[in-house]
Structure 1
Amino acid sequence: MKKFDGKTVIVTGGGGGIGGATCRRFAAEGAKVAVTDIAATGTQAVVGEITSNGGTAKAWMLDVANRDDINTVVNGAAAHFGGLDIIVNNAGISVRIAIDDEGYDEAWVKGLAVMLTAHQRIIRAALPYLRKSKSPRIVNIASTEALGATALHSPYSAAKAGVVGLTRSLAVELGRDGITVNCICPGPITTGMTARIADEHKAIYARRRTALGRYGDPEEVAHMTLSLCLPAASFLTGAVIPVDGGLMARNA
């Protein structure tokens, strides 16, 4: 048997990057995967890859800033697959803006809607199904920006710091239901969000800031997410785990 045979997982932002790698990793271990994203092209590509390799997956278009979308997709995935066991809140956007820029309020509202409010809404929609699962897991994807901030990223950093707080609070609240809630804080990872950064600048940053001297791959984050959902992690909850090549461990 594979590690997640019979389990169902919802991944937001599953159309590429860390989310796509997470979907593929769970499917390879036998999970039934609900691949959700605001862009249909990415989800269909990930589902096609999974099914061509013998896995089970279905795509849903999901705007995580839309409450009705969330309820429709969560309930639809549970009905299609016969329940839910694992939630991976991964969807995010890049928000870079100065505090005194004219569009700051809009950036703030959108950043928190996509990267924080959506997390709690998805969890709330999924709770009835998670409470019926024999091994319910929630993994929230935050960022090292929640632990040490960068200028011009205050909406992003605030949202990600909120994810850390939400994770810890819900770990305490939902522990009596046997639901574990953990958080991963990726550091510099090669994804669509970082694609616009020149390779030479990535290399310089990685050498200066990380212990391993490189950017990470989405699969390296996906493996940590998978690990948090294994039976061996059943006593781990409320954890905030940097997957950052030693970024936060380094002084200078």
Structure 2
Amino acid sequence: MFIPVDKTEEHHVSTTTSGPGRSVIVTGAGSGIGRATALLFAREGARIVIADVDEAAARTVAKETEQAGGTAVTVIGDLRDQAVVDRVAATAAEEFGGIDVLVNNAGIMDSMSAAADTGDDEWERVIGINLTAPFRLTRAVLPHMLAAGKGAVVFTASEASLRGSAAGAAYTASKHGIAGLTKSLAVMYREKGIRSNAIAPGGTITSIQVAADQGAHGPTALAPYMGNVGSPARAEEQAAAIVFLASDAASNINGAILPVDNGWSAV
């Protein structure tokens, strides 16, 4: 559908990736996609909250962020803890005067277990870190974005948010939940100046661990589908998509789940 535009008005869209001085939160920033994202924002002069459960890794990335041209503060803790969530949001708001971008990236894999083999501990840990924590942090950040009348939230979903053949029951459910949350936010807040999008990475070279029992039903059932993964991405390629979705260049992209998977989702 085409909507007539008043040609007497000029419309300019910025092509900057993040904007100097932009206040950004990146979770899981101590390694992998989170680290690459923090460094890419830093090269654009952003001010970044490095949130991670690993203190040593977070401190290292904070130093790298400063060296890359950004400003960094760290918040250490498990995002399943509401107090940690509150501290992340409060730190960004107090240190940087607001919150422009939230990157909900932190996550863990499951053991590729089928539903019948998924214990309560595994289910609750994966859902807690991958879905509940991003929801709580988004909820904590939204009042700041609403007060400013603008903001961008970017989630790291997964190929497993698009299909049932890329991970176990817990991880797949968590990432489908992220896709739904991404779209719900887009609908609820699009008239408030807030955009919500997600990347769906395919195979990516990171330090994330998969402790799968190859003889169990889940890994056995999934094995025939994993040959479609293709060449794995570098963390920097995923980060580039995240920073783009958070940028003014993506100003009319809202509610999208962007596969960054070398065509895996097209197979």
Asked if these proteins are the same fold (TM beyond 0.5), I'd say yes
Q: Is the 8 A contact 1:142 1:186 kept in 2?
A: yes
1:79-228 paired onto structure 2 within 5 Å = 79-96=94-111, 97-101=113-117, 104-133=119-148, 135-150=150-165, 153-193=168-208, 208-210=227-229, 213-228=230-245
- Whichever residue aligns with residue 122 of structure 2, its letter is A
| SS of equivalent residue, structure 1 residue 193 | coil
Q: Which moved more, 1:170-179 or 1:124-133?
A: 124-133
- Change in 2 beyond 3 A, CA 1:5/1:208: same
Query: How far does residue 135 in structure 1 lie from its aligned partner after superposition?
Result: 4.1
The structure having more radius of gyration, on CA atoms, is 2
Alpha-carbon distance between aligned partners in 1 of 2:165 and 2:18, rounded to the nearest angstrom: 38
TM-score (norm 1): 0.89
Q: Is the 8 A contact 1:15 1:46 kept in 2?
A: yes
Q: Which deviations, in whole Å up to 9, do the C-alpha atoms of 1:87-130 show, x marking residues without a partner? A: 000010111134333x6111111111111111111111011211
Q: Is the 8 A contact 1:98 1:104 kept in 2?
A: no
Q: What residue number does 2:5 align with?
A: none
Q: Is the 8 A contact 1:9 1:31 kept in 2?
A: yes
Q: What residue number does 1:200 align with?
A: none
- Whichever residue aligns with residue 228 of structure 2, its letter is R
Q: How many pairs were matched up?
A: 241
Alpha-carbon distance between aligned partners in 1 of 2:244 and 2:69, rounded to the nearest angstrom: 22
Alpha-carbon distance between aligned partners in 1 of 2:52 and 2:185, rounded to the nearest angstrom: 24
2:47 aligned with 1:32, yes or no?
yes
Q: Is the 8 A contact 1:167 1:183 kept in 2?
A: yes
Query: How far does residue 45 in structure 1 lie from its aligned partner after superposition?
Result: 0.9
- Whichever residue aligns with residue 161 of structure 1, its letter is H
Structure 1: which 5+ runs fail to align? 198-204
Query: How far does residue 188 in structure 1 lie from its aligned partner after superposition?
Result: 0.1
- Whichever residue aligns with residue 256 of structure 2, its letter is A
Task: Identify which of structures 1 and 2 has the higher relative contact order when contacts are C-alpha pairs closer than 8 Å and 6+ apart.
Answer: 2
User: Identity, % of aligned pairs?
Assistant: 37
- Whichever residue aligns with residue 64 of structure 1, its letter is L
Q: Is the 8 A contact 2:183 2:196 kept in 1?
A: yes
2:89 aligned with 1:70, yes or no?
no
| SS of equivalent residue, structure 1 residue 9 | strand
Q: Which deviations, in whole Å up to 9, do the C-alpha atoms of 1:59-106 show, x marking residues without a partner? A: 1103111111101221122101111100000010111134333x6111
TM-score (norm 2): 0.84
- Change in 2 beyond 3 A, CA 1:87/1:152: closer
Alpha-carbon RMSD across the aligned residues, in angstroms, is: 2.3
| SS of equivalent residue, structure 1 residue 91 | coil
Query: How far does residue 132 in structure 1 lie from its aligned partner after superposition?
Result: 3.3
